[in-house]
Amino acid sequence: MTGLGTDGRPLRVAIVGSGPAGFFVAEHLFGRDDLAARVDMYEALPTPFGLVRFGVAPDHQKIKNVTRTFEKAAAHPHFRFYGNVEIGRHLTLDDLRRHYHQVCFSTGAQTDRRLNIPGEDLARSHPATEFVAWYNGHPAFQSCRFDLSVERVAVVGVGNVAVDVARILCRTPDELAKTDITAEAEAALRESRIREILMLGRRGPGQAAFTTPEARELGEMPGADVWVPPEDVALDPISAAELARQDSRTVGKKLEILREFATRVPSGKPRRLIIRFLVSPIELSGNEAGEVVGMRIVRNELYADDQGRVRSRPTDRVEELPVELVFRSVGYHGVPLPGLPFDERWGVVPNERGRVVDPAGGPVPGVYVAGWIKRGPTGVIGTNKADAAETVEAMLEDLAAGRVAEPAEPDPEAADRCIRARQPRPVTYRDWRRLDALEVGRGKPQGRPRVKFTSVDEMLTNLERA
């Protein structure tokens, strides 16, 4: 019989999730001269690209250009896209096993990490994940409401997502008018009465996760003055020692920017962004209507753990902040997938270099993971490229070693029939190209990169019409 992975008998791969990790897996598979692969990509939403569309901030359009790379994989003659098909709902892992030699899950991290403090679930306390998905037009989050009529808001966290949220809250209507933010979010932000945004970091400025360009950008916003309390930006001995050990020029540059922020005096811009370090929320207090009206924070100090990692612990200095809206941005968290093992603590599918392993029963043959569901919600888009390459290496090692199950129905048409029986309206890549053109066309007269469709029905109706 012809060898598996050759033109006579191509390797059939299902990729679940069309974010950066899924597309990088497809790119790596198609990039191998010694492999003939047929790839079907499944996506729960009608639109591809995961967090590039629904996470990356609308005022950072250039970053979204990475989709041009993904277009190349999508243009491969042996690539098929099945949007609007959710694995676990329309098809199961067993269904996929019947049609493919290998299945790679790249489903990202679909929910948020919690603070686990009293008052967290009061009204006006929201996961940043929801706010981001709302302003970026994710269909499942369009009914969310955020009360922007208050004056003071706290953004808990100092990672890149927290910075995005703080920056979007500070943007002026003119700035937002050039983006692809949804009309509803834009209108709400135009009416916003927020005057002060507090960003709160648990550890010190030396450990802040945001990047230098992002820090710099905060200091250049036309609509908001930025300030850091000088006390918060002073480098403690533990961080100074860590910095000296790592000889980190990037952190040094970031500290320089933050120290300069500490010297600034308000110039009368409509909003003020205050970045605070070494503080953690310990309780949210509410009014009679159950809405947040305050946050109790504790001052932290840093210490080095057994392995020399810089950690924070609370002191006895407590402070009350009169904030009325809270965005919690302390990390994303993966969700379990039916039929796959799951590590609740880290929110990932347990794996060894991308091979899914069941801690109770050893390797799960033919099933792989890539991206955030594999390693947790860290890193930028590009990080997923090396991550996907590692997974593809594992897939090809298993192929070479004959550790590949034979699917009962490997014919691509059989998979297509099965999908259409379960989801009569899958969205193909051609359909997406039409939606994309429609969105870009709607944006043109307004000078925007695009005007997104924000409901699945709207997308499907437009596809019927076009």
Binding site for ligand FAD (CB under 6 A): 16-22, 42-45, 50-51, 55-56, 60, 63, 86-88, 106-108, 110, 132, 160-161, 164, 332, 371-372, 379-381, 384
Nearer to ligand FAD, 67 or 285 (CB): 67
Name the 3-class secondary structure at 440: helix
Q: Which is nearer to ligand FAD, 304 or 380 (CB)?
A: 380
Least distance (Å) from ligand FAD to the CB of residue 159? 9
> Closer to ligand FAD at the Cβ: 182 or 384?
384
Q: How far is the CB of 120 from ligand FAD (least distance, A)?
A: 20
Task: Enter the tokens of residue 377.
Answer: 């919600």
The distance of closest approach from Cβ of residue 16 to ligand FAD in the complex, given in angstroms and rounded to an integer, is: 5
Q: Left, alpha or beta for 237 (phi > 0: left; psi -120 to 50: alpha)?
A: alpha
Q: Decide whether 71 or 86 has the Cβ nearer to ligand FAD.
A: 86
Cα gap 412→79, rounded to integer Å: 11
Task: Tell the smallest beta-carbon distance from residue 1 to ligand FAD (Å).
Answer: 33
Least distance in Å: CB of 47 to ligand FAD? 8
Give Cα 126 to chain centroid, integer Å: 16
Structure tokens at 117: 């403090």
Cβ-based nearer residue to ligand FAD, 45 or 463: 45
Q: Which is nearer to ligand FAD, 89 or 249 (CB)?
A: 89
Q: Which is nearer to ligand FAD, 273 or 337 (CB)?
A: 337
Per DSSP, 4 falls in state: T
Rounded CA-CA distance 86/16 in Å is: 8
Give the C-alpha distances (Å, rounded to integers) separating 208 from 55, 255, 296: 20, 10, 21
Nearest CB to ligand FAD, comparing residues 48 and 204? 48
In angstroms, give the least distance from the CB of 445 to ligand FAD: 27
For 184, the enclosing helix (H) or strand (E) is: helix 183-190
- Which of 262, 216, 180 minimizes the C-alpha distance to 451? 180
CA nearest neighbour of 279 among 318, 238, 326 = 318
Q: What token pair was written down for 218?
A: 């905060």
CA dihedral 450, 452, 453, 455 (to 10 degrees): 180
What is the sign of the dihedral through the CA atoms of 212, 217, 218 and 219?
A: positive
* Minimal distance, residue 24 CB to ligand FAD, in Å: 8
Task: Single out the residue of 113, 134, 135, 126 nearest to residue 58, CA to CA.
Answer: 135
Q: Give 130 or 225: the residue with its C-beta nearer to ligand FAD.
A: 130
Position 457, amino acid:
D
Of residues 22 and 350, the one with the C-beta less far from ligand FAD: 22
Report the alpha-carbon distance of residue 415 to residue 93 in Å, rounded. 13
Q: Considering the complex, what minimum distance in angstroms separates the CB of residue 102 from ligand FAD?
A: 16
- CB-nearer residue toward ligand FAD: 89 or 417: 89
Smallest separation, CB 117 to ligand FAD (Å): 22
Task: Order the strands of the 362-369 sheet from edge to edge.
Answer: 79-83, 37-43, 11-16, 102-105, 362-369, 355-358, 351-352
- β-pairing verdict for 332-333 and 111-112: antiparallel
Please report how close the Cβ of residue 352 comes to ligand FAD at its closest, in angstroms. 18
Terminal Cα-to-Cα distance of the chain (whole angstroms): 45
* Residue nearest ligand FAD (C-beta atom): 19
- Only one residue has tokens 């060894």, namely 352
- With beta carbons less than 8 A apart as the criterion, state whether 165 and 133 touch: no
Least distance between ligand FAD and beta carbon 53 (Å): 8
